[in-house]
Structure 1
Amino acid sequence: MLTVHHLGRSQSERIVWLCEELGIDYALKHYTRDPVTMLSPPDLKALHPIGSAPVITEGDLVLAESGAIIDYIVAKHGSGRLTLGPENPDFAAYLYWLHFANGSLQPSMGRNMILRRLELGDTHPMVQAMRERLGRTLGLIEARLGAVAYLAGTQFTIADIMTVFSLTTMRFFMPVDLAPYPNILAYIQRMAARPAYQRAMAKGDPGMALLLT
């Protein structure tokens, strides 16, 4: 049995959502953040040396990193669903946006989050540089979603699953005003309307107010 070790308000929501989209059997084990540090509890840290979520187990397998987990699940359980192959004209775009999520968007938000907590002030050169970088990153997504319904193009894929966390739940940790990005806001609403997303959030983070606007 595939078990998703899920930490509330974390990137592991991607894995729960993927399992719901694929309709596969899985067990969901919840973990709660330390109330002071907001970090993973010891029992989750004991699963994998990296000490953070998401983690999955299946038989003797213990696997971390949300991107690797998503690749594993779609390869082993997806039967070709939610991915695009090299014969598809959107294949390159699919690969780009799949890796953009954790290669550009999430790191940009993370750097801004750290700088915000350091309270360096809005005029600090690094704060200004990283804020401008995040603006360019969001602007690129905004432009893409003005041209297509999904990041890969015409089809919903794991590129969308990888990206939505950063545009929604990540804003609990790094507040971002998305009002200047109407295409992103419309996209979030489309994703939130998916039954599998609604099931995943209800199971993974019941009662959490979703940041969809």
Structure 2
Amino acid sequence: MLTVHHLGLSQSERVVWLCEELELDYSLVRYDRRADNRLAPDDYKALHPMGIAPVVSDGPLVLGESGAILDYIDRRHGGGRFSPDPADADFAEQLFWFHWSNGTFMASRMLAMVLKLAGAGAVPFVDDRVARSRDLVERRLAAAPFFGGDRLTLADFMMVYSLTTSRAFGGGPLSDMPATQAYLRRIAQRPGYVRAMAKAEPGMAPMID
């Protein structure tokens, strides 16, 4: 049995959404963050040597890292439904956004947040990278219905969390990104996303604006 260990307000939201879109028979175990520091509780940290979300188990396998987990589940349990074939016209775009989400976008935003918390003030290099990232996202969604192209792909599962729930830890509204807002509203209407958010973050309205 595939088990998703979901830490509230974390990247493991992506995994719950993928499982719901694939309509898999899976088990969901939800963990609340600690009240004192908003970090993962000790029982979650014990799941994987890195001690961070996301984590899934599938029989004897225990797997971490968002991208690896999404790729594994889609290929192992979903028949590659959300992974374009190399011959697909959208193959390269899907790869870019799938890896760029955590490799550049989330990394830049987290660096900006850490510097702010440390009282470092404005760091032009970091601020410029964040601004360029937001512009790149907006231009992509003004040109294509999904990050990977014409259909939902793993790139969207990676990017949506980066644009929505992750902003609970810092990040302003998306009022200057109309194409991005329109995209997120479309995503928020998907039955699989609705089911996933109800299970992953019960009582919380998706942060789509």
Fold equivalence (TM over 0.5) = yes
**Cross-structure match for 1:185:** 181
Conserved 8 A contact 1:112-1:174: no
* Bigger Cα displacement from structure 2, 159-168 vs 173-182: 173-182
* Bigger Cα displacement from structure 2, 112-121 vs 21-30: 112-121
Distance across 2 between alignment mates of 1:105 and 1:120: 20
Deviation at 1:209, TM superposition (A): 2.9
Q: Are residues 1:155 and 2:146 paired?
A: no
Counterpart residue identity of residue 128, structure 2:
E
**Cross-structure match for 1:199:** 195
* Bigger Cα displacement from structure 2, 20-29 vs 171-180: 171-180
Conserved 8 A contact 1:14-1:165: yes
Counterpart residue identity of residue 7, structure 2:
L
TM-score (norm 1): 0.95
Distance across 2 between alignment mates of 1:13 and 1:106: 15
**Cross-structure match for 1:114:** 114
Of all paired residues, the percent bearing the same amino acid is 49
Q: Are residues 1:208 and 2:187 paired?
A: no
Distance across 2 between alignment mates of 1:80 and 1:5: 22
| Structure 2: gaps spanning 5 or more residues | none
Deviation at 1:193, TM superposition (A): 1.0
Cα RMSD, aligned residues only: 1.0
Number of aligned residue pairs: 209
Distance across 2 between alignment mates of 1:116 and 1:183: 28
**Cross-structure match for 2:13:** 13
Deviation at 1:181, TM superposition (A): 1.0
Distance across 1 between alignment mates of 2:29 and 2:63: 15
**Cross-structure match for 2:48:** 48
Equivalent residue of 1:146, what SS?
Answer: helix
Equivalent residue of 2:29, what SS?
Answer: strand
Deviation at 1:108, TM superposition (A): 1.2
Equivalent residue of 2:194, what SS?
Answer: helix
Distance across 1 between alignment mates of 2:39 and 2:71: 25
Equivalent residue of 1:5, what SS?
Answer: strand
Distance across 1 between alignment mates of 2:97 and 2:49: 28
Deviation at 1:210, TM superposition (A): 2.0
Counterpart residue identity of residue 28, structure 2:
L
**Cross-structure match for 1:167:** 163
Deviation at 1:22, TM superposition (A): 0.4
After TM superposition, list the pairs within 5 Å mapping 1:25-174 onto structure 2: 25-121=25-121, 124=122, 126=123, 128-174=124-170
TM-score (norm 2): 0.97
Moved over 4 A (4+): none
Equivalent residue of 1:3, what SS?
Answer: strand
